[in-house]
Structure 1
Amino acid sequence: MHEAMNSAASSAATLETRLARFALRAARAGEARVSYREASGATKAGGKEALPLVLLHGIGSGAASWVQQFEALGGARRVLAWDAPGYGESKPVSPASPVAADYARVLADWLDVLDIERCLLVGHSLGAIIAGAFAAANPARVSGLLLISPAGGYGAAQESVRAQKRDARLAMLAELGPQGLAQKRSANMLSPHADESAREWVRWNMSRVIAHGYAQATHLLANADLAVDLACCEQHEVRMAVAVGAKDTITSPQACAHLAQVARVPLQIVPLSGHAGYIEQPDAYSALISAFCGTH
């Protein structure tokens, strides 16, 4: 028991040390405040402009979850990850039951403040919904859109299904709180192959979500229909890619295959990884993102 507690404390301390290299920052984006982390890498690559890489986290996470990608990719270009509205120190969006466009507007304002006119955009899980909405509304600002284990949303489902999915997650939040969610639900994010440090990392991130922001994100998930935005992106010729972990039980390869079909791109499957694959298989996912950047 004591050994497990000591191991968890050691993992948390190591994570804090690594995160210290990418200190939390804040920017005023329109009327909103956005907290974020950044690796300020090169602005040129091979004599060409190295476009910024923007990373959007999922519903049970935050900017800190991308620290391994900061370390691996931050030397080649500017890499940024936000705390979505309602997460970290970021101000929540106004609607109690928001839609993807509410988050996409904050994203646009944040990029404006940081003087980012065009970027490579990566969205994981719920972050893929926000990324898709932003790209559909601002296709000229997205050089490439990479969706990792994208959540499709329930916007196309019957109202009874949407309400059931939404209310079940809200009830779980009310019963367990962020700490309880982290203890009871974080294991679902990873494959059986994940090591204990990855499991502790996911628990650490999930335990720090803010209940109100998580609740709003739950409504977003119920309201969203990513496939509609991907069809719009395809019409605007936004260059896209879709990837998923082979052992993902939250956004399964089958579900992601449908979204890849809408985007008219092949589905990339990463072996031995679950939903939070970029945490448990950082080398594989950093290589995937790097290759995506190189071709887009």
Structure 2
Amino acid sequence: MFYKISGSTSPDAQTLVLSSGLGGVHGFWQPQLALLEEHFRVVVYDQFGTGASQGAIPAGYRMEDMADELAALLSSLNIDRCHLVGHALGGILGLHLAQRYPALLTSLVVINGWTVLDSQTRRCFKVRQDLLLNSGVKAYVHAQPLFLYPADWLSAHADLVQQEQLQQIAHFQGMENLLHRLHALMASDLSDSLANIVTPTLAISCKDDLLVPWHCSVTLAAGLTNGEHQQMLYGGHAMSVTDPETFNPILLAWLQGFTSPSVTTSSQPSPTETLWPKH
């Protein structure tokens, strides 16, 4: 598994792991790195079968397998306690990690995640899958920004999006790997076990997310033993990229709430909701 460690070298610095979505690669977190590195020892990685973490993903692959792979990586780095921030698939991975390795996580942030797949998300995934199978990699990559970013942001950043697409085509994770990862994500259902997760968890949603309806995060937070929900009003599915000026302070405020040794799971707030306008 490819990884990078950066940020604070203080012996008191807490470790923060960033886990990306379906794309799987660590570059997704570029808009957050500089800020987080001031406060934490930051670990980013490419999920198995993506980016520089080369390997063939087998049929029958599960989200539990992704959680086990991350746990093994952290063990190899002698990390036995950390915060995890995950976007979509990365957040679902984090929930499975919290369920399987409860002592590993100090806190969890799930960005535009869910308990069980919503019909709207299933519809979007099916469209993307059909594009990949029937029209090929280029068509899949060219359509992807429509599900991630608001229309006005796409219009204002056309050159950046084009460069991003060229990189994604050149370093595509492979059709079988992507489909097996997608099927694992779609099959995940935490409905019967969500209340068993005790890790303090922040679910962040975005009101204009086309791919994952915002109410999925509300349901997720409400079903957790120590869940909290906060909502941004603008930014689309990838609002950490499109509006980091709003997203980053939300994330940092949550993480800094655990810098005191006196903070424990039982002291965390009950599910709440906060709305964050763009400006």
Tell whether the structures are fold-level matches, with TM greater than 0.5.
yes
CA contact (8 A) 1:56 1:127 kept: yes
Is 1:223 aligned to residue 184 of structure 2?
no
* 1:83 is the counterpart of 2:46: yes
Question: What's 2:203 paired with?
Answer: 242
| Gap change, CA 1:222 and 1:231, over 3 Å in 2 | same
SS at match of 1:122: strand
Instruction: Find out whether 1:37 has 2:1 as its counterpart.
Output: no
Q: Does 1:289 align with 2:257?
A: no
Distance 1:226 1:149 in 2: 15
Identity %: 23
Q: In 2 relative to 1, CA 268–146 (structure 1 residues): closer, same or farther, beyond 3 Å? A: same
Aligned length: 251
Query: Structure 2 counterpart of 1:283, which letter?
Result: E
Shifted more, 59-68 versus 269-278: the winner is 59-68
Q: 129, 136, 158: which is aligned to 2:92?
A: 129
Task: Identify the residue that residue 108 of structure 1 maps to in structure 2.
Answer: 71
| Structure 1 position 191, deviation (Å) | 1.8
Q: Distance in 2 between matches of 1:214 and 1:35?
A: 18
Question: Following TM superposition, by how much is the alpha carbon of 1:216 offset from its aligned partner in structure 2, in angstroms?
Answer: 1.4
Deviation for aligned residue 1:209: 3.3
**Structure 2 stretches of 5 or more lacking a match?**
259-279
Question: Post-superposition shift, 1:179?
Answer: 2.9
Report the secondary structure of 1:269's partner residue. strand
Q: Which has the higher helix share?
A: 1
Report deviation, 1:39.
2.2
| 1:204 positional shift | 5.5
Counterpart selection for 1:150 from 113, 124, 127: 113
Contiguous gaps of at least 5 residues in structure 1: 1-33
TM-score calculated relative to the size of structure 1:
0.75
TM-score (norm 2): 0.80
2:3 is matched by which residue type in structure 1?
Y
CA distance in 2, matches of 1:39, 1:193: 33
Distance 2:60 2:167 in 1: 24
Residue 41 of structure 1 and its aligned partner are, at CA, apart by 2.1
State the shift of 1:245 in Å. Answer: 1.4
SS at structure 2 position matched to 1:209: coil
1: distance between equivalents of 2:137 and 2:130? 12
Give distance in 2, aligned partners of 1:122 and 1:71. 15
- Counterparts of residues 1-296 of structure 1 (less than 5 Å): 34-44=1-11, 49-92=12-55, 95-154=58-117, 169-194=128-153, 195-196=156-157, 199-200=161-162, 203=165, 206-207=168-169, 208-210=171-173, 211-233=175-197, 237-263=198-224, 265-296=227-258
Q: Please tell me the residue identity of whatever aligns with 2:68.
A: R
1:193-215 Cα offsets, whole Å, 9 max, x none, are: 42406645764665433123211
Cα root mean square deviation, aligned:
2.7
Q: Report the Cα distance in structure 2 between the residues aligned to 1:250 and 1:69, rounded to whole angstroms.
A: 22
